Amino acid sequence: LYGSLDMTGGEEPLDVEHLQAKMMLIHKSRVNLSYDWRIQQIKLLLRLVQENKEEIRKALHADLGREGTEAICIETKPLEADILYTMNNLKHWMKPESVPSPAVMIPATSHVERRPLNAPGVLIIAPFNYPVRLALQPLLGALAGGNPAVIKPSECTPTVALLLKRLLEQYF
């Protein structure tokens, strides 16, 4: 349910209405409200990064000339650390937070419950300078919030864009 808006001219245009309908189905099913759904999606993202480091490195080298150590240190390792941090804290972040009630409402209690946006989804537009990290890091936040997402990779990094498209379709 995650897609790529390919603006490189190499593929047919994306059916946005169909994509929106698929994302709205997630909201209507209410599956995205649960911790289990969110953590499952985040674990898939972690697997995507961990199992494809070499392919990511090669794509970054092809598009940006980045060598292996640089690609690992600024693209994949920080992303993995963020994913693990999110996995460790997600349950706590999802807990309702007690907040003071207005005095005129006593003896009422109030709380803030964090829920996904009731929009079709999140659009992530990735820049060219850190094409993997700045595409997948916002995806991590969207998934932690229970929101489906669409990624539009940079047209300046076509190898990375095709790799992300293939991997997102494979894992999600």
pLDDT tens figures, 56-68: 999 999 999 998 8
Place of tokens 């009630």: 101
pLDDT at 47: 97
pLDDT at 12: 58
Q: What is the C-alpha to C-alpha distance for residues 96 and 147, in angstroms, rounded to an integer?
A: 18
Residue positions counted in the chain: 172
Torsional sign, CA 62, 64, 69, 74: negative
pLDDT at 1: 39
* 171 burial level (CB within 10 Å; 0-12, 13-18, 19+): middle
Per the DSSP assignment, residues forming a β-bridge with 150 are 3, 123
Q: Is residue 3 scored above 50 in pLDDT?
A: no
* 53 burial level (CB within 10 Å; 0-12, 13-18, 19+): middle
Q: Please give the share of the chain, as a percent, with pLDDT higher than 70.
A: 92
For 134-153, write each residue's pLDDT tens digit.
999 999 999 999 999 999 99
* 45 burial level (CB within 10 Å; 0-12, 13-18, 19+): buried
* Region of residue 67 (left: phi > 0; alpha: psi -120 to 50; beta: else): beta
pLDDT at 6: 43
* 158 burial level (CB within 10 Å; 0-12, 13-18, 19+): middle
- Its pTM stands at 0.85
pLDDT at 13: 62
